[in-house]
Amino acid sequence: MNITLTIVAQALTFAILIWFTAKFVWPPLLAAIEARQKLIADGLADAERAKHDLEMAAKRSADLLREAKEKAGEIVASGEKRASEIIEQAKSQAKVEGERIIAGARAEVDQEVFRAKEQLRNQVSAIALAGAGKILGREIDAKAHNDLLDKLAAEL
């Protein structure tokens, strides 16, 4: 249990080991650890930023969607308005057309009635003439009684 020169030698060894650790072991490892810490911190910051970006994008897409919906609603409303306008227009056109057709038909009917009356008048005068001939027992001279017949026809 003597204190000998060993103590000096051990102190020297210790000093060399301290120097070696401080110069070659500690700095590179700590540099690597610090670099990794920075890497991780940067990664976390990036993730945070990406999250923020995502939130912004979601907000913007929601805005766009709402805008699009509004626009679509507007378009539908204007379409409906246009459609009712067209229907109204068609209705009024159809009314006009109908009235025109009805007027035409009425005129035609009047004409037909007039023509039928004319025909009927002629036939009635012929019947009256034939009836009168039979009653009188002889031929009636149509020429001699023409003015009378005309008068009768005008009365019918």
Partner 1 sequence: MSTEEHALTASSYIEHHLSFNVKQVADGAFWSVNFDTLIVSVLLGIVSFGLLWLVVRSATAGVPNKRQAFVELLVGFIDDQVKGIFHGDRKPFVAPLALTVFVWVLVMNAMDFLPIDIMAWVYHHVFGQEKFRAVPTSDINTTFALALSVWFLMIFFSIKVKGFGGWIHEFFCAPFGSNPLVWPANFLFNLIEYVSKPLSHSLRLFGNMYAGEIIFLLLGMWAATGLAGTIFGALLGAGWAIFHILIVVLQAFIFMMLTIVYIAMAHESH
Kindly list the residues in this chain that would bind partner 1 in the complex (CB under 8 A): 1-11, 13-18, 20-22, 24-33, 35-36, 38-39
Question: Sign of the CA dihedral 29, 31, 32, 33?
Answer: positive
- Residue 138 gets which letter from DSSP? S
- Nearer residue to partner 1 within complex by CB, 14 or 114: 14
- Nearer residue to partner 1 within complex by CB, 23 or 51: 23
- Nearer residue to partner 1 within complex by CB, 11 or 58: 11
CA dist 103 and 110 (Å) reads 11
Q: Which token pair is 112?
A: 């037909």
CA dist 40 and 48 (Å) reads 12
CB of 57 to partner 1, least distance (A): 31
Task: Tell me which amino acid residue 10 is.
Answer: Q
CB of 7 to partner 1, least distance (A): 4
CA dist 80 and 45 (Å) reads 52
- Nearer residue to partner 1 within complex by CB, 10 or 123: 10
CB of 47 to partner 1, least distance (A): 18
CB of 63 to partner 1, least distance (A): 41
Radius of gyration of the chain (CA): 61
